[in-house]
Structure 1
């Protein structure tokens, strides 16, 4: 684990939620949802976030079926994590993200954000849950 800032990603084919975590205190905060049509634009936006936050590590949520078996999004999220490592040269960790979207929906509902109003924040709050999970349980290095 690192003692610096980490950036966490809730990967999706259309949107990527991003959160920042302060490892020294173990607290994560939602940042932004990237909703860009091309991979080049996505990675340019991620590059700007990395330049701004100067993280010591990146954390990517690894989606699986409820029983832990992989599916197509598992492969795509792993590929995304490998691309992050290759492009930015930072340590990248994969974290089991089962139930993070449900947790994000619950947290937003508790904050009074319901229904369609949740959509803009859902991915970044899920990324926050991924970073928080990493703080609590660790993950697998890419």
Structure 2
């Protein structure tokens, strides 16, 4: 179990929207925040920097969307690149975690709460970020965003 003092911000990287959640390691819980728009995976960095200034997180967590067989995808690499840019811009420790199936689970959670199945309008990105962050709190691994994915995952090396 991860132990840090202070808030932690989690991100669910996407090319058109990026989900965000804030949580506390001490309770192991997180809450979704409104997602931010992205253009081909590039966010409005000012919005993120304002969020970081407001929350003053002890750490940042970014989900890595591996393929179902554990191999590295193009999106995995893009999410890691996003994590490293966050670390550089925000000057906070940034960690990675496998986030397979979080969007699927987030959709199920939203539907069970009576949400619309039009996920373009009914964003589940914040719920996915919440699941990523809570999964990281339960983990015992601190994988720095600078770690090469090929060094972490034996499948999918190019």
Work out whether residues 115 and 122 of structure 2, in 8 Å CA contact, stay in contact via their aligned partners in 1. no
Q: Given the alignment, which residue of 98, 106, 111 partners 1:109?
A: 111
| Structure 2 spans left out of the alignment, 5+ residues | 146-158
Shift of 1:88: 1.0
State the Cα deviation string for residues 78-119 of structure 1 (Å, max 9, x = none). 100111111111010101000101110111111111311674
State the Cα deviation string for residues 6-31 of structure 1 (Å, max 9, x = none). 00000011110100011221111000
Q: Given the alignment, which residue of 122, 140, 144 partners 1:141?
A: 144
TM-score, scaled to structure 2: 0.83
Partners of 2:108 and 2:36 in 1: how far apart? Answer: 22
Q: Given the alignment, which residue of 45, 56, 59 partners 2:58?
A: 56
CA-based RMSD:
1.7
Partners of 2:140 and 2:110 in 1: how far apart? Answer: 24
- Alignment correspondent of 1:82: 84
- Alignment correspondent of 1:96: 98
Shift of 1:121: 2.8
- Alignment correspondent of 1:31: 33
2:124 match: secondary structure = helix
Partners of 2:16 and 2:120 in 1: how far apart? Answer: 16
Q: Which runs of 4+ in 1 moved over 3 A?
A: 36-39, 117-120
